[in-house]
Amino acid sequence: MADPADLAGLRLFAGAEPSALEHLAGLLEELPFFAGDVLYRQGDPGTTFLLITSGRLGVVRAEGNDEHELLEAGPGSVIGELAMLTGRNRLATVVARSDGLVLVGDVDAFDELVHMPPVHDRVAEVIARRFAEITYPVPLTLRDGTVVQVRPLLRSDRATIEDMISRQSEETLRRRFFSPGHPGQRVVSHLVEINYVDHFAWGVTADDGTTGVAAARYVRLNDEPTAADLAFGIADEFQGKGLGTSLLGALAWVAAEAGVEHFTAEVLADNRPMRAVLAKAGAVSEVPSMGTVEVRLDVEAAKLLVDPHTGEQLRQAALDVVTAAGLVLVDLD
């Protein structure tokens, strides 16, 4: 059991009730570490998270034969919660840079931690800042020469998404949401609340970097972890320029990293433009039913829709954010 005093001394828990800290401490185990110790290894299953109370830990990611340190974390930092919550493998290796102490917890402990009112507010603040720092756009040139900027979608893009949706014609809204009406706030929340592993989305802006023109996403299927459902939304004025094809390829480069092998999609039977995009990757369609068509395609085939150089740029931009998603509570002090 951890010492509640160790928690009270961290800025992360400033303002928390003593009784809440005592309860959380009962769910955590102390683990001393020494310089050079490896606490987590990249690729290992994620079952716990670490809360640093003293000392420094380095977060290192291996890329082929290369290895680079993403950051160094100190007291008040939480590491490893994304892998634990999603049941995925570790995205990086955690190495001790000094002697110190961490508190180790499971899903129940993390749920208790993040739902303390002062902690919840600070986490949201840190998430927004860290993701804004780590994301960067990849330029895409469409077949008519138009240049757009593609980057991982953030929660802070909510206003941009709402503005883009508000500009859409009824026909575009019908094809995307199966209804000509504007989606409600709960739907918009789903579009921007992303964990980047089981739910990933690209946001696309015009070359000015501010006007939203498209978004594309995949959501992993609960009953088939190697498959994910696709969805696209493209502004009216950017349709017919090849953007949908490029975004399908862009999603494939990220999905392959996440262990997704197949894409599925439900498309309106009369949505010929989107069906044509999916067919470019060899999509197989079922017989239309109730006005919709179920399609399935291979991720590797979809990767071929963008050139390898651009695909690698997209993969790297996404990988940085996926890794950051597991480190959003780092460096709170």
pLDDT tens for 105-147 read: 998 898 888 788 777 767 666 555 556 656 788 999 998 999 9
More confident residue, 233 or 263: 263
Shared domain check, 181 and 164: yes
- Supply the CATH number for residue 281's domain: 3.40.630.30
Shared domain check, 160 and 285: yes
pLDDT at 182 over 70: no
Tokens 């390829």 belong to 249
Report if residue 265 sits inside a domain.
yes
Contact in structure between 324 and 130 (CB atoms under 8 Å): yes
Shared domain check, 72 and 146: no
pLDDT tens digits, one per residue of 145-181: 999 999 888 777 777 777 666 767 766 656 565 555 5
Contact in structure between 295 and 278 (CB atoms under 8 Å): yes
Shared domain check, 196 and 71: no
Shared domain check, 105 and 226: no
Domain boundary among 70, 100, 134: 134
Shared domain check, 157 and 113: no
Phi, psi of 202 (to 5 degrees): -95, 140
> Which has the closest alpha carbon to 328: 135, 87, 188, 198?
135
Residue 45: how many other CB atoms lie within 10 Å = 11
Query: Nearest-5° angle of CA 91, CA 221, CA 272?
Result: 115
pLDDT computed for residue 263 by the predictor? 95
pLDDT tens digits, one per residue of 296-332: 999 999 999 999 999 999 988 887 776 655 554 444 3
The domain tally of the chain equals: 2
Residue 67: how many other CB atoms lie within 10 Å = 11
The SS3 assignment for 253 reads helix
What DSSP state is assigned to residue 286? Answer: P
pLDDT at 78 over 60: yes
Residue 143: how many other CB atoms lie within 10 Å = 11
Phi, psi of 72 (to 5 degrees): -120, 130
> Which has the closest alpha carbon to 213: 144, 149, 137, 265?
149
Tokens standing for residue 208: 């000015």
Report if residue 315 sits inside a domain.
yes
Domain boundary among 91, 108, 134: 134
Domain boundaries, position 256: 138-324
Contact in structure between 310 and 252 (CB atoms under 8 Å): no
Shared domain check, 240 and 120: no
Query: Nearest-5° angle of CA 244, CA 249, CA 255?
Result: 120
Distance between CA 91 and CA 253 in Å, rounded? 17
pLDDT computed for residue 119 by the predictor? 79
More confident residue, 102 or 107: 102
Distance between CA 302 and CA 37 in Å, rounded? 41
Distance between CA 59 and CA 211 in Å, rounded? 35
For 97-112, the DSSP string reads SSSEEEEEE-HHHHHH
Report if residue 331 sits inside a domain.
no
Tokens standing for residue 21: 């800290």
- Supply the CATH number for residue 95's domain: 2.60.120.10
